[in-house]
Structure 1
Amino acid sequence: MPYVEVTLPVNADRSQIYPILKDMEKYPEFMADLVSVEVIERKDNTTITKWVSNVDGRIIKWTELDNFDDTNMHISYKQTEGDLKKFQGEWILTPVAGGTEIKLTVDFEFGIPMIAGLLNPILKRKVRDNSMNMLTAIKERMENRA
């Protein structure tokens, strides 16, 4: 099962970053292969979101449950249905000298054993690249605002 973890320090307080992370419908602005994110349901500290991604011409769709811990500024997510056998992870914001370290984890499984050996390394690289691109976009947004 591929697991991806990316981190990036950002010169901003986590209280400034967390609202951007919670606004999942805008994620396609940060992730080139992400086609859309739609909030299906919002209640208490959870959302159910529907995602569509284009990975090298292959459309991957899933629905996930997102849990928001506003006190600790932490987000966890887990696929409830979709094209992957497993897709879950979390956003962790850790205060560091000069700002915040953003960590994004993605734990996934394609679910077709015969081709998993071929596709998992490709998907892992794509997920890592997309995740780092997302963190970089957030960093640039936070550090270059006037």
Structure 2
Amino acid sequence: MPHVVLHALADAVDPAEAYRRISDFRRYPEFTDTVREVSVEPPLPDGSTLSDWTVLFRGGLMRWRERDTYAPDTHSLAFEQITGDFQSFSGSWRCEPHGPGTRVVFTASFDLGIPTLAEILDPVAASTLRHLIGEIVKGLLGAEVTDESADTSRD
């Protein structure tokens, strides 16, 4: 399954503030044309939320619903697709202290569910995801991606 990891540094933002901004999914469309819409439902009894996403991909729209689980004590959150256009999509955000600011770590694994086209589509999807997350962290935090990697091999 393809796996994407990005690191970004936000020198002027502390981890708690970075986490607060990253957790505000509704703002993501402000920072990239790729994210067309995000709606977030009120928190469930366990504190998690359900969010619906519409994202531009290869000239079309991808849609999914995910469960977002928040861990404010560790400045991290996890997400997992419940329904949608991916076969599977899950990952996490983590905001950790780094000097006077914050290192943001984003990870995601996905399966587009089209094994015959995986060799072609997986690298494109990974590249799109890296670009999208880079735009979001730059817009939300003034951060620049410092390290990125993608493993698009199939498990």
Q: Any stretches of 5+ residues in structure 2 without a counterpart?
A: 144-155
State how far apart, in whole Å, the 1-side matches of 2:126 and 2:111 are: 10
* Amino acid across the alignment from 1:126: T
Q: Secondary structure of the equivalent of 2:83?
A: strand
Q: Deviation per CA, 1:15-39: give whole Å up to 9, x if none.
A: 1111111211111112320110011
State how far apart, in whole Å, the 1-side matches of 2:90 and 2:117 are: 21
Q: Which residue of 1 aligns with 2:73?
A: 71
Q: Is the 8 A contact 2:75 2:96 kept in 1?
A: no
The root-mean-square deviation of aligned C-alpha atoms, in Å, is 1.4
Q: Percent identity?
A: 26
* Amino acid across the alignment from 1:14: P
Q: Is the 8 A contact 1:31 1:131 kept in 2?
A: no
State how far apart, in whole Å, the 1-side matches of 2:131 and 2:60 are: 16
State how far apart, in whole Å, the 2-side matches of 1:131 and 1:33 are: 10
| Higher RCO by CA contacts (8 Å cutoff, separation 6 or greater) | 2
Alpha-carbon shift at residue 138 of structure 1 (Å): 2.2
Q: Is the 8 A contact 2:81 2:89 kept in 1?
A: yes
State how far apart, in whole Å, the 2-side matches of 1:67 and 1:61 are: 19
State how far apart, in whole Å, the 1-side matches of 2:137 and 2:5 are: 11
Equivalent pairs counted in the alignment come to: 141
Q: Which residue of 1 aligns with 2:133?
A: 131
Q: Any stretches of 5+ residues in structure 1 without a counterpart?
A: 142-146
The normalised TM-score by structure 2 is 0.85
